[in-house]
Amino acid sequence: MARALIPGSGLQVSLAVTTHAAREARERHGLKPASAALLAQGLTGGVLLASLQKGEARINLQLQCDGPFSGLFVDAGAAGDVRGYARNPGLEVELGEGAFRWRAALGNAGLLSVLRELGTEYYRSSVELVAMDLAQDLNHYFETSDQVPTRVALDQRRDGEEGLGLVAGVLVQALPEGDVQALERLGTTLAERLGAAVQGGGAATARELLAAVLPQAAFTHEYPVAFRCSCSRERVLRTLASLGRAELQEIVDTLGSTAVTCQFCAARHEVTLPDLLALIDQLGGGHLRS
């Protein structure tokens, strides 16, 4: 993730290369090419939105649609960590080219929701999908619900057999007092510029792409983006404990042990019979077991 400012116009820029995160998501979830390409877009949108957050604050990006892809869920932090999943991991449709390239997967209607953490509160807003294209629908989201003038572009390149050759996205947002007209002018060519830089093949890192897409931008700092999940066995045990004694006893009596697969990263956390009995014990009141 490369961050920058455009001198004299009060615009901030985030440019992310998410190739590795997108490939890791594909591997973890066993995604077919179309699902991998769409989740790559979602992960990129997620890290771009999260780059606007402060400190530890997170964002969730959710897409639901009536096409065979069904939707995606992405959780991203301001530190560059991102995780997510596709509702249909096995989509194999041909995505084609041009403005309607995602329609075969996304269908004709749906909803884009963004949950933002601000301090101790959460703000959620949803917009209907209008373009059936994540970048354009994110622009629509910023126009209608967020109301901070912002433009987003996403692009990805295939390298032979590697469908996720290079995955990148750019977001430009007006700071308070920023030049909104300058942003609008820039917005009309942003997707084209990103597309040329990504498809052209010369630039590979976020900084190189930034220089190619927005040569007038002054680089401020960068940080790594990685697929990372916060799940752990301890968290799984805490979640199980929250089910209560009766429910846990039911698991002991019917299954003896269990395993919880994390929806975000597909990690499988084994919970053994001694784990379950220890949880029941911790919840107090003695064993229910006959």
Residue ranges that bind Zn ion, judged by CB under 5 A: 229, 231, 262, 264-265, 267
Considering beta carbons, is residue 93 or 267 the nearer one to Zn ion? 267
Distance in Å, CB of 49 to Zn ion, minimum:
20
Neighbours of 288 (CB within 10 A): 13
Minimum CB separation of residue 48 from Zn ion in Å reads 22
CB of 269 to Zn ion, least distance (A): 9
Least distance (Å) from Zn ion to the CB of residue 229?
A: 3
How many residues does this entry show for the chain? Answer: 290
How far apart CA 150 and CA 170 sit, in angstroms, is 11
Decide whether 85 or 142 has the Cβ nearer to Zn ion.
Answer: 85
Residues 6+ apart with CB under 8 A from 45: 61, 74, 134, 135, 138, 152, 154, 169
Q: 193: number of CA atoms within 13 Å, CB side?
A: 21
Nearer to Zn ion (CB atom), residue 1 or residue 262: 262
**C-beta of 115 vs 229, nearer to Zn ion:** 229
Of 212 and 229, nearer to Zn ion (C-beta) is 229
Q: What are the φ/ψ torsions at residue 13 (nearest 5 degrees)?
A: -125, 135
Q: How far is the CB of 83 from Zn ion (least distance, A)?
A: 7
φ, ψ for residue 204, nearest 5 deg: -125, -35
Quick one: how far is CA 69 from the chain centroid? Answer: 16
